[in-house]
Amino acid sequence: MDAELLHHPAIWLILGGIVMGFLRGAPRVLLSLSLPLVAAWLLWQIPEGIYGGVPFLDYLLDVLQVDRLGRLFALVFMLALFVGSVYAMGQRSRLEVPAAFVYGGAAVGAVLAGDWITLFLFWELMAIGSTLVIWAGGREAYPAAMRYLMVHLFGGVVFMAGITAHLVGGGSLSIEPLALEGVAHWLILAGVLINAGAFPFWSWIPDAYPRASWSGMVFLSAFTTKTAVYVLMRSFPGAEVLIPIGLLMAGYGLIYALIENTARRVLAYAIVNQVGFMIAGIGIGTEMALNGVAAHAFAHIVYKALLLMAIGAVIVQTGKRDCTDLGGLARQMPVTTGFAIFGALAMSAPLTAGFITKSLVLQAAADAHLTWVWLAMMVIAAGVFLAAGLKVVVFVFFGESRDLDAEEAPPSQRWGMRLLALTSLAVGCYPPLLYDLLPYPIDYQPYTGSHVVFQLQLLLATTVVFFLLRGHLVKMLGSLIDIDWFYRTLGPRWVKVMVYGVSIEIREVVLVLMRGIANLLGSLRRHYGTRGVLARTWPSGSMVMWVALLLMMYLALFYLS
């Protein structure tokens, strides 16, 4: 066993999360802030390579694989844990932050796994940790947590079935690009896409994430879907089927985000939208596209968490979640408003992380001459800024005043938002900070005159469209039936009807059988009961006569034969 495994950052995060569950007050806060920093330092000390030698059944597991791609994802996960811990200092739940560290540590372990079995073990631990984070949201979050767990356990079963079939068929234990040939690889793809929130299981994201606490959704937004994106990058780069799957996810998320009224559900649908954007980039499969996907996963974790922190602060101060119940908070919460505005701009505005990352994927589509994909991605980029940026910020902070009694977010929440805003600004102003961490060498300059002007024009046009259609958007606000309606509402109703109908048929059959059994028992009773014919006392002479008759019949049959 390699000595480097003792410094595996995922193990330290998971064990630290367990220990954290027994601590309170300052020791717990200190541990939550120091663990991600220690884990990041440990990761930087490990040279690139594969470390393993852990025996399991007939295999030796490569528990730790350090390369540029895995290091980038692990680092941004640690950043999310650190900033999330700062933001959640005021969280009273005794379960949430420890569960978040187990969850985040498992995500780090998954992106640093060197073989399929290790990946699967961390994959399932992620499901458990994230379920506990949702569960910590309170009594109303429990049903959503159970639905979330069922979806991910099902996805884990599909994923494991694919891995097993892959290994039994002679496939490599190492995580390598797979061709979509045979059932095994399609099962692996399906299992990963369930965690990514692809059709038809995408509704678990807007169902479960908004039910978490004001800080829980910040952790949830960072790990599960991005780990799935990472595994797709490892396993299926250039798989063309991912392009329509990703664009379908992006379009679906955009439409629902436009109509949804609950602010955090809007942002949850926007997660589906942006993960779809990344999956389409993986389908393009060039080095530029994969660099863009990795970079955009980093940027998305940062700006999405910033928006969720701003909305979480609003929920804490007002207790309201719907856009129509909020408005006019800019005067009462000016700092939070400023961070929300920056988070919206960070999706694609110059000098922010989103600007320098989305452009890589768009450039990859253009270089591959995928004109329709490029156009679709441009619409997606503009639409998500309108739906999850302008809509949330304007309706919540600048809409009609509701006379809500709100105060500015407490210092810990403001520091969490400040750290994310500074991260996005630093990366946006100096792209090499992120570009130098990408998996492939890159020679790209995002700040060309034409690109900056085009992006500013697109943002301006989107803003004009929003304010022209604002009145119509207000009328449209609500909640649409999502695809989970079929298995959450229609399915149980159909089962009840079927069970009730079948129960009637079963009851009639049982009644007929019971009547038949009663008749049979009555007949036996008449013949063999205490008063039955065969139970009576017969005279000896009669019995002798019957015996003689039977003997004569036997002799006659014997001689005749």
**Cα–Cα distance for residue pair 82/78, rounded to 1 Å:** 6
**Phi–psi pair at 291, nearest 5 degrees:** -60, -45
Strands 59-61 and 54-56: antiparallel
Residue 373 to residues 115, 358, 443, 457, 492, Cα–Cα distance (Å)? 33, 13, 23, 20, 39
Least confident of 21-35, 368-382, 524-538: 524-538
Mean pLDDT computed over 354-372? 92
**Phi–psi pair at 310, nearest 5 degrees:** -65, -45
pLDDT (0 to 100) of residue 499: 61
pLDDT at 497 over 80: no
Compare 186 and 556 and report the one with higher pLDDT.
186
Q: Tokens 């946006």 sit at which residue?
A: 428
**Cα–Cα distance for residue pair 554/96, rounded to 1 Å:** 90
Residues near 356 by Cβ (< 8 Å), separated by ≥ 6? 295, 299, 427, 428, 431, 434, 435, 446
Lookup: tokens for 396: 């919540």
Compare 223 and 488 and report the one with higher pLDDT.
223
3-state SS class at 50 = strand
pLDDT (0 to 100) of residue 559: 67
Compare 402 and 488 and report the one with higher pLDDT.
402
pLDDT (0 to 100) of residue 525: 67
- Are 236 and 331 spatial neighbours (Cβ–Cβ below 8 Å)? no
Q: Express as a percent the part of the chain with pLDDT over 90.
A: 61
DSSP-assigned letter for residue 95: S
pLDDT at 233 over 90: yes
State the virtual CA torsion across 275, 276, 280, 286 in degrees, nearest 10. Answer: -10
pLDDT (0 to 100) of residue 474: 74
Please give the model's pTM, rounded to 2 decimal places: 0.86
Q: Tokens 């910590």 sit at which residue?
A: 136
pLDDT (0 to 100) of residue 189: 96
Q: Tokens 């595994």 sit at which residue?
A: 231
pLDDT (0 to 100) of residue 487: 66
Compare 190 and 451 and report the one with higher pLDDT.
190
Q: Tokens 């000595």 sit at which residue?
A: 3
**Cα–Cα distance for residue pair 329/453, rounded to 1 Å:** 32
pLDDT (0 to 100) of residue 196: 94
pLDDT (0 to 100) of residue 134: 96
* Burial of 415: CB neighbours in 10 Å, binned 0-12, 13-18, 19+: middle
pLDDT band at 145 (very low <50, low <70, confident <90, very high): very high
- Are 303 and 274 spatial neighbours (Cβ–Cβ below 8 Å)? no
pLDDT (0 to 100) of residue 556: 76
pLDDT at 561 over 90: no
**Cα–Cα distance for residue pair 152/191, rounded to 1 Å:** 9
DSSP-assigned letter for residue 536: S
* 3-state DSSP of 318-351: HCCCEHHHCCCCCCCCHHHHHHHHHHHHCCCCCC
**Model confidence over 75-129: pLDDT tens digits?**
999 999 999 999 999 898 899 999 999 999 999 999 999 999 999 999 999 999 9
DSSP-assigned letter for residue 262: B
3-state SS class at 137 = coil
Angle, helices 96-111 vs 25-45, to 10°: value is 10
How many residues are there in the chain? 561
Residue 369 to residues 250, 364, 373, Cα–Cα distance (Å)? 20, 9, 9
**Phi–psi pair at 91, nearest 5 degrees:** -75, 125
Angle at 396 between CA 394 and CA 398, to 5 degrees: 50
pLDDT at 316 over 80: yes
**Model confidence over 374-408: pLDDT tens digits?**
999 999 888 889 888 888 999 999 877 777 888 89
